[in-house]
């Protein structure tokens, strides 16, 4: 499972730039650039609310990343196999405002 850093601080799962969801999905079936990808697991935070799937209440360092960006060199059988990934979207309001900054076309 990749180590994940996420700058989408407006996401309900973001805890100190880590993801507390436990797993995410990166979309981008026809993506040829990182900007054509997104984290479809993104959910905008309302106020101070937060959702957490990690046992200790913090963000998860390594999580499962399913990925439909078929052209990414890290995609193996719809799973991300990069050592680490970055999800960008510091001012995201919806999943389309995020992207996988680690995406790299074959």
H helices present in the chain, as ranges: none
Mean pLDDT of 23-51: 90
pLDDT tens track for 43-74: 999 876 556 555 555 668 899 999 999 999 99
Is the overall model pTM greater than 0.85, yes or no? Answer: yes
Q: What are 17-20's contacts with CB under 8 Å, separation 24+?
A: 17/59, 18/58, 18/59, 18/60, 18/61, 19/59, 19/60, 19/63, 19/87, 20/50, 20/51, 20/52, 20/53, 20/54, 20/58, 20/59, 20/60
Which range is least confidently modeled, 11-15, 60-64, 89-93? 60-64
List the chain domain ranges.
Answer: 3-100
Looking at the predicted structure, is the pLDDT value of residue 95 above 70?
yes
Mean pLDDT of 28-45: 97
Mean pLDDT of 70-97: 97
pLDDT score at 61: 85
pLDDT score at 56: 53
């Amino acid at each position: 499972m990749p180590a994940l850093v996420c700058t989408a601080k407006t996401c309900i799962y973001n805890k100190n730039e880590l993801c507390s969801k436990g797993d995410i999905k990166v979309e981008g079936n026809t993506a040829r650039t990182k900007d054509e990808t997104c984290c479809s697991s993104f959910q905008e935070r309302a106020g101070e609310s937060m959702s957490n799937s990690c046992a200790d209440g913090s963000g998860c360092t390594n999580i499962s990343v399913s990925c439909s960006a078929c052209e990414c060199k890290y995609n193996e059988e719809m799973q991300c196999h990069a050592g680490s990934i970055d999800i960008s979207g510091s001012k995201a309001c919806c999943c389309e405002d995020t992207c996988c900054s680690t995406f790299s076309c074959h």
